[in-house]
A and B are shown apart, each in its own frame.
Chain A
């Protein structure tokens, strides 16, 4: 079982890294989006492996299913001009790669020199807990998804409700920013600005 976990981890880690490198080197923005799909799916697999099945499912539904489709729509709406090239300058590439190799090296160096505390409760300890105590525990919790729901409507209620307000603000803001700037031919009443109030046409 441990051996299988190890194999699955290395497979998913390799998939995530290949996807990340693909994002980094790919020149075509549609291919970049497809490599992002590989990384997102690998990350979802890692969440399942880490025992967070609910987060993995949400990652697949919201990220791979929603956010990525939004990005691909953005690609399609902004890639109509064939005369534009997005090739970066060589100096920028060298500077960026050197910076990020240094960052990765520094992070890995620090990670290997740090002893992290281990406060994980075993399966037996979790079994002996009361329901309220068990809701706080992530790993070895047999009904972690149920506990997640109870925490969201318990001590995380205020952030949860603020998040719903943020989503409403984003909905209105995105619709406002994305409104048509030039009159739409054949649009129903109310979509186009009234005559005399159109903005300057570029």
Chain B
């Protein structure tokens, strides 16, 4: 087996990113779309730490990854509050029904 290097992590993160984007495109449940966004952020974090270890050799990747984790938590909190309002208005979290919101 070839030793694991930067390429392995980058390919894994690319596939995770594509899966997350596909989830965001395909799902109609707003919470499913939110979960897809989490997948995207995790793929980005894997990239940051892989570059930190194998290419740049600095600590900045780990620090940026910590910022991403905190901002993802903040994003989920706000998004869920919006979805709860959406649910109390439409009795579902189907994003296709968002086109009924005018003004």
Say yes or no: B53 contacts A139, CB within 8 Å: yes
Hey, which chain A residues are within 8 Å of B26, CB to CB?
Answer: 24, 88, 92-93, 96-97
Closest chain A CB from B66 CB (angstroms)? 6
B89 close to A (CB within 8 Å): yes
Hey, which chain A residues are within 8 Å of B62, CB to CB?
Answer: 52, 54-55, 138, 144, 148
The chain A residue with its CB closest to the CB of B45 is: A43
Q: Interface on chain A toward B: helix, strand, loop, or mixed SS?
A: helix
Say yes or no: A13 contacts B8, CB within 8 Å: yes
CA distance A86 to B84 in the complex (A): 17
Say yes or no: A120 contacts B54, CB within 8 Å: yes
Closest chain B CB from A106 CB (angstroms)? 9
Q: 0/1 per residue, B54-97, Cβ < 8 Å to A?
A: 11111111110111011111101110111111011101111000
Chain A residues numbered 39-65 whose CB sits less than 8 Å from any CB in chain B: 39-40, 43, 46-47, 50-52, 54-55, 58-59, 62-63
Total A residues in contact with B, Cβ cutoff 8 Å:
88
CA distance A185 to B53 in the complex (A): 56
A131 close to B (CB within 8 Å): no
Chain A residues numbered 58-115 whose CB sits less than 8 Å from any CB in chain B: 58-59, 62-63, 66-67, 70-71, 73-75, 77-78, 81, 84, 86-88, 92-93, 95-97, 99-101, 103-104, 107-108, 111-112
Say yes or no: B59 contacts A148, CB within 8 Å: yes
Say yes or no: B66 contacts A55, CB within 8 Å: yes
**Residue from the list B32, B82, B88 in contact with A86, Cβ < 8 A:** B32
CA distance A3 to B21 in the complex (A): 33
Given contacts A119-B56, A148-B62, A202-B89, contact A173 B25 (CB under 8 A): no
Q: Which of B29, B87, B92 has the most CB of A within 10 A?
A: B29
What are 5 A-B residue pairs whose CB atoms fall within 8 Å in the complex? A52-B49, A70-B80, A99-B22, A104-B17, A120-B55
